[in-house]
Chains A and B, each alone.
Chain A
């Protein structure tokens, strides 16, 4: 085995760079983070020939080496840092044959860093349809590189690409343009101060934070002190540089590229006419949304039921076959039910990412962003916030991850902060049982009250998300350049392989990242509910038997379990918060359910089931038990006032540890998850309190 070749994959967004990466590496890829930031780092291995491997790194898509977001700054930092262990032996710039001119801008910049650079022209299958022809030998000569024409859709050109990568030592490293021609005097001074260094590299180091004020990461070299000119002057020089590069590119393409526009069939304008129409555009988007909801709530309920009953029977079987004891209880009641709580979300998450990746791959998502930007901007959000807000109805965790493509940090942060207000699927079981319990029968214009209440809660979630966003946009003082440039890519049929890999990757991340936390909390809850201090807990059976000598064995066990729970650690915890939640209309048992809901909201129903000592999880039984629960004064515990107060509490409170953990990861600070935890929970408390006090 010879030493592996380190390959950096670069390219503009929408050029199929990730398709090339997927085609070369398949599933042998790993997604991590760059140290200290949340930018995804995708690496993979590919066999270049029988004894040489390639280590591929798929760098974030970028339009140029002048960074305007933290994702893009990763690219520049890697290419400028020769000492990095990831510094590439060869840079592969992926371009789209239809946008060759713009894509070549990045190519000329990378090549000017004097790294061996080769050019990949993707989507070669589109050439004929678009009437494009290329003179490859001429282009190779004028661009001074090797060019590989590929089509990931038809799996063409990949072998040739591997061969060309292996021969990377023969690639030229001479720059395409003379950077000092944009300002002779400036660069002469620069050369004097830093002799024997590449001028373009120095120039990049000097300008890298001009356009993007907040790169908190350490600077690459000490040349940043050389700022003899104000930022606006530097920017004008960058503009000049861009003009120079385009002059070079235009000259190259004048002879190397011909487009016969007659032959082009324009799918774009025909689809755009409908998809972003001011009436039809919204109607179609609405239908797309309905389909997604249908999939998340209806289609995924079939696999979810199978998973649910599978875990229940697994737990039963283990209980019957393992020797009785603490370990068996921990396994069956703590770990297995905890795992079940994670696995049950897989169908919803997989469906969600299936749709999102199809919408993104096809180019439709940019159109939605275009349609929604104006409306959402009023609330301090961005057109791109649409995706997280939709995803949030399944689960806030993938939704928070989906904010990554919002370039504007303030708008992204607000989106992250308000996403947990949207009604996630874990709130649904809580709402269903409470609505069944406290909302009266009857209808209003043919719509029954219960259905209206549920719909109202969904709308309330969205409404609160928008309101909170508006308040945050007025109060957060974060200066981040408000800019919105969205490329409207060509429509494409999504590649099955790309969609599959995305669904797999995202689902896997959810299960491992969120799963760890959910599992840990379920185990903790189990311990707190299974142990208690003092003799009340340890002698529960005796005490219950003494107080209720009339009970038979079965009833005794149920009563004992309830008594144990009351005196367990979690029961004591519930009682200790009772004074705080009593004004909201809740007793200590609801308090326990509130505390345990921090693992996942849907735990509410299961916890109440245990507390009210019902044998089965059958919702009707729990409902009847809850319905007959009385207060000290003889009125029902769950009435309209306390029921609505509880629903509103669940609608607004931040009760999800996993979401807090993912927000910590995405914002890289504990500050924002804490803002969510306290802000949302205080809001929930105040709303629930005033609701109960008014209605009771």
Chain B
């Protein structure tokens, strides 16, 4: 299990746990929930923000937020 900000570009993973208190509810409501799939599509220069596909949503979040999401790589 690794924090989301360590995921590499193009890698696919599954969300294992999230630090509910440190995440905006909006992100959770957009599908950032344990069990859902997650993929890193692109990183902006200086590796921040991150462009992700979470479940079926495409969104960008800052690295500091991504540290509170823990994922497990798929294959």
Contacts and interface: CB of A to CB of B under 8 A. Distances in A.
A613 interface: no
Contact of B58 (A373, A484, A487): A487
A373 B62 contact: yes
Contact of A68 (B24, B41, B56, B58): B24
Contacts of A377: 62
B24 A239 contact: no
Contacts of B28: 238-239, 242
A68 B59 contact: no
B25 interface: yes
A486 B56 CA distance: 14
B51 to A, nearest CB: 6
A418 B42 CA distance: 31
B57 interface: yes
Contact of A276 (B24, B42, B48, B61): B42
A322 B56 CA distance: 69
Interface in A270-306: 272, 276, 278
Interface in A448-493: 481-490
A64 interface: yes
A63 B30 contact: yes
Interface string B52-70: 0001111111101100000
A196 B40 CA distance: 48
A488 B61 CA distance: 10
Given A101-B55, A232-B21, A485 B42 contact: no
B74 interface: no
Interface string B26-40: 111111010000000
**What's the dominant secondary structure at chain A's contact region?**
helix
B43 to A, nearest CB: 9
A588 to B, nearest CB: 52
Contact of B33 (A66, A246, A369, A373): A246
Contacts of B57: 99, 102, 487
A639 interface: no
Contacts of B49: 370, 373-374, 383, 484, 486
A667 interface: no
A236 interface: yes
Residue of B45, B46, B60 ringed by the most chain A CB atoms within 10 A: B60
B45 A484 contact: no
Contact of B24 (A101, A211, A278, A383): A211
Contacts of A99: 56-57
B49 to A, nearest CB: 5
A370 B51 contact: yes
A371 interface: yes
B20 A236 contact: yes
A485 B58 contact: no
Interface string B10-32: 00000000001100111111110
Nearest to A269: B41
A216 to B, nearest CB: 20
Interface string A62-90: 01101010000000000000000000000
A371 B44 contact: yes
B29 A483 contact: no
A278 B25 CA distance: 30
Contacts of B33: 239, 242-243, 246
Interface string A415-432: 000000000000000000
Contact of A64 (B26, B51, B55, B56): B26
A374 B29 contact: no
A127 interface: no
A66 B23 CA distance: 14
A481 B46 CA distance: 23
A102 B30 contact: yes
6 contacts: A64-B26, A66-B29, A276-B42, A366-B60, A484-B62, A486-B49
Question: 3 closest Cβ contacts across the A-B interface?
Answer: A488-B58, A483-B24, A486-B60
